[in-house]
Chains A and B, each alone.
Chain A
Amino acid sequence: MAENKEPLVNETPQKETPSKIEIAPRKIGVYLCRCGGNISDVVDLQSVAESLKGENVTVNIQDYLCSSAGQDKIKSDIEKGKIDRVVIGSCSPKLHLETFRGMAKKAGANPTLLEITNIREQASWVHDKEGKESVNSKVKGLIKGAVARMGSIEPLVPLEKKLVDRTLVVGGGIAGITTALEIADDHEVILIEKQPYLGGHMIGLSKTFPTMDCSQCILTPKMVAVHNHSGITMHTQTEVAEVKGSPGDYSITLKHSPRYVDIKKCISCGACTRKCHTGAIFLPFAQAVPQAYMIDVSKCDRCGACVTICPRDAVNLDAKEEISTISVGAVAIATGFEPIDPSFIEEYNYPAPNLLTAVEFEDMLSAKSKTGMRLQKADGSFPDRVAFVLCAGSRDFTGKGRKHCSKVCCIYSQKQAQLVKKMKADAQAWIFYIDMRSAGRRFEEFYHHTQEKGVNYVRGKVAEIIPKQDGTLMVQYEDTNLGRKGREIFDMVVLCPALIPSAGTKELADKLGVPLGDDGFIEEKHVKLDPVNTLNQAAFAAGCVLGPKDIHDSVTEGMSAAHKVSQFLGKGMILIPPEKPMILECNGCGDCVKACPYNALSLSEGKAVLSPLACTGCGICVPACPIKGIEIRNFTRNQLKAQLKAMLEDAPGVVVFIDPYAYAAADIAGVNRKQYSSLVRFISLPSIHVLDGDVVNAAFEYGATGVMLIEGTTDEKLTSRSDDLYKKLKKDTRKHKKPLRYSHIETAQYEKLTDLLNVFASQAGAKAEKKSKKEKGEEASEEKV
């Protein structure tokens, strides 16, 4: 088998590294997946297989590689000793890499010696409008590159780190409450909530569809259970300020806003409220958990009456914001939603008297009610004619509102209409809708039932809402069923606003390295199969932070997330990717120690030493070392060069070095079938900071017409250095006079990514053409378009 070595490692001599010595004879198997036509309809896999003839590898094509038949084929090939390294050409590694590696491990191979080349999201799904030739040539290049890489990498064993057996649940709404309660019997939980009380939006609801039972009746026992559970520490008025550490071992700083009343001391006797002459001290509402008064400082004149009267000394007017630090292994994000502010819809003229959002309508009838649970107009009387306007700011593709459907509005507006009819039988309730979406168990029946109650449905979008001087509102609309325009006067109009991620979602997600979708909600690890996991293995999500949903679904997700957290913590250990720096040569200069943003390197007896558990594998130390003595395992300069050379050998292309977060954006582009140039060849790196002039120069030498660095991480420790990296690389690769570009693309920005790729590919192509014309004269250039 030793003859495999030569063609794969290529002429670039490998530095004397331990990896070279350890390399066993390679028997590489290449497995290509048709994906039931998803790939093979666009890519001619047979010709890809044929192109590997000279490579001394075994090639196999399967209909569905992820099926048991597909996996069994690889497994038996490993078990029979036919192969010991695997290159798979299939869908994104984000989907099935773990599955395949698990299989390889069972079969007796080292899992790190199985890698996936993404020929679906990054080829067949995004180049299907281009000629087959160019897509085939791209896939051939990618697979050849992957084979060369597989031949050069070393078997690694993941590192193990002990987990902290404690979870932080962020958000005390129904999703967070459920998650916390479900985890807390087995693992310690810290639950934090931004508001002064638990319950989230659900405690602000009146009746709940489709059963019409009262929201607080079903929620209050759960809030009390959280309060009483010995395994849950609860902090209200608390937010995450800072996240340090790594998955499984986080040190998180919490910021507690002052309540001015000590929750532990307050017995909610109410003596303070009776003494307060400004109404500044109050109990948020009767059932509030924690049961403790609080002070609205904007109303307080610091007279001190409450301090004196309190029998328990619970009031402290000088309370300050406090900071505390906790240590947790996992984080569950349940930060929920907020309604969009509909004032941007100018033709609706919100806010105006008697023009409310559905959330304000609910508030009036809920436990938090300020009207004694009475539905009333600004003047205190009951509204006899109420209109509900759906899709206020959602399902809007004009760029002003949000594209997504807020999912719950169709049903809750009907519930609200029923409540109006129940409170006053001869009152009128109108629902203006685009489509009545009542999918889900018991919802169509609910729709039917609401119709029977005499609610008036108008299919058509409301054009404008005009507040009149007398407090009524004129609604102009189009009735698309009757094909005519109409105009009605109402006593009250309820807007059903788009539900959007609550304020601060992005900041929290960034701190945890969790990507968001372009709608601002958290991106699931897999949209269907991993719905409560995120791309951070220690961060989980539940409820409306994953998209608008009802109570039932939020509870389901809370339970799922709790299960996933327990499963994660139950292992006691976390596996850390073994792709860490190896220090091959050291003159003790300490440059790498200074460069490392995570304090993972130190000098000991004049040599650099690595603490692997602190290291994130970002690779900043690689270019920092002046004697090129540091390499990242399995991303060494020579390994990258070997991959580049093989990838570009037969056809030139644009090389795009991409980190895992931006890689996820490319996957989303694939799922959305966003087309871009098939000249683009991604090379996946743990971070773009492992690169130096050596590697980029090699890419140009092997025929890259341009090189892009695309970074998606939101870790400022890395992004703050990207500009310097780019400038340095630009300088070091100047001699090639070929385009080099850096871009920051967050996971959600897949459209920006494809636009950039297209622009860059065409610029690089044009430049290459010009250059070749110059060099080779007219005849040669004609073929090279």
Chain B
Amino acid sequence: MKYSYYPGCAQHGTAIDQRISVEAVFKRLGIELEEIKNWNCCGALHVDDRTTRIALSARTLAGAKGLDIATPCNLCYSNLMRANTALEESALKTMINGALTNKYEGNTKPKHLLEVVVNDFGLGKLAEQIKKPLKIKAVPYYGCLLTRPENKFDSPENPKSLDNLIAALGADPVKYYYKTKCCGGPILLTNEDLALQLAKDLLVMAKETGADCMVVTCPMCHLQLDAKQKAVEAKFNMKIEMPIIYFTQLIGLSMGIPPKELGLDKHLVSTDKFIAKVGR
């Protein structure tokens, strides 16, 4: 299995832990990720102009050279998907291609790494790689952009793929009604009060389920829920202490990969208790 890989900016900054775990896990699963040369930012949620936003992604899509393009980030994924759909309109494609050195032929399909693992690799095959079933309870948290706008991968209201993955690793995916609610990440800089309120809602609901960790699929969610968890605790005067784990880290743990090789030591909310519970 081989994919063209679009890591997105976070992998080189705040999500270094995710990057380490992706490398460790995908190498062992035998899924080859070939990083696109000279890729650029997807525009995240900050580029207002539609054409510019699509053009940013079009350049990346062209770089995939016809391979399916995999990405670990929900924002990147959502932008690539939206651009790919918009570029089916030939007038727009012609216009944008006019500005690109490498032309985009409409011949690639963006996939989130979760989709690569769950659908392409398959949970059955993944189960064979498990050395240590995880006897824990985990919150499946998808974030707002993984299944939106509506795509063929999973349901926008009640997605199941991450639940299924958690169950396949031997853990118990708890019922969590905020699966696809916004974590507040994108407005952290512009409206911190609201951003922390949104994160608090998610964390409190996760805490109430009695889960051992919250599993995320997106570096932006991780930043908000992990790095800003202390800020939430301070603002609302409460203790949460909820470990926020990338789904790739969870897979890695079940495969018996040492926590350090998964970047679990780089979290701001301590993962020690969680790792102890998983067992060494």
Contact = CB atoms under 8 A, between A and B. Distances in A.
B151 interface: no
A379 interface: no
B141 to A, nearest CB: 14
B178 A466 contact: yes
Contact of A349 (B155, B177, B208): B177
A248 interface: no
A466 B209 CA distance: 13
A469 B157 contact: no
A347 B179 CA distance: 11
A346 B158 contact: yes
Nearest to B178: A466
A469 B158 contact: no
Given A466-B177, A466-B178, A467-B177, A347 B157 contact: yes
B209 A469 contact: yes
Going nearest first, the 10 A-B pairs with the smallest beta carbon separation are A346-B157, A346-B158, A469-B208, A466-B177, A347-B157, A349-B177, A346-B155, A467-B177, A469-B209, A466-B178
Most buried by A among B155, B158, B178, B209: B158
Nearest to B179: A346
Interface in A442-476: 466-469
Interface in B147-167: 155, 157-158
A246 B157 CA distance: 50
Interface residues of A, number: 7
Contacts of B209: 469
9 contacts: A346-B157, A347-B157, A347-B158, A349-B158, A349-B177, A466-B178, A468-B208, A469-B208, A469-B209
Contacts of B158: 346-347, 349
B70 to A, nearest CB: 27
Contacts of A349: 158, 177
Interface size class of B (residues with CB under 8 A): under 10
Contacts of A469: 208-209
Contacts of B157: 346-347
Interface string B209-242: 1000000000000000000000000000000000
Nearest to A470: B208
Interface in B117-159: 155, 157-158
Interface string B172-200: 00000110000000000000000000000
A469 B158 CA distance: 18
Nearest to B155: A346
B173 to A, nearest CB: 15
B201 to A, nearest CB: 10
A343 to B, nearest CB: 10
Given A347-B157, A347-B158, A349-B177, 10 more contacts: A346-B155, A346-B157, A346-B158, A349-B158, A466-B177, A466-B178, A467-B177, A468-B208, A469-B208, A469-B209
Nearest to B207: A469
A346 B158 CA distance: 6
Contacts of B177: 349, 466-467
Interface in B43-76: none
A469 B174 CA distance: 12
Nearest to A345: B157
Most buried by A among B155, B157, B209: B157
A468 B208 CA distance: 9
Nearest to B208: A469
Most buried by A among B155, B157, B177, B178: B177
Interface string A662-702: 00000000000000000000000000000000000000000
B181 to A, nearest CB: 9
Contacts of A346: 155, 157-158
Contacts of B208: 468-469
A92 to B, nearest CB: 41
Contacts of B155: 346
Interface string A166-193: 0000000000000000000000000000
B53 to A, nearest CB: 27
A72 B173 CA distance: 77
A346 B142 CA distance: 15
A393 to B, nearest CB: 14
Contacts of A347: 157-158
B248 to A, nearest CB: 26
Interface string A209-251: 0000000000000000000000000000000000000000000
A341 to B, nearest CB: 15
Interface in A307-359: 346-347, 349
A348 to B, nearest CB: 9
A468 B207 CA distance: 12
A347 B178 CA distance: 10
A704 B20 CA distance: 70
Contacts of A468: 208
A637 B242 CA distance: 82
Nearest to A465: B177
A464 to B, nearest CB: 8
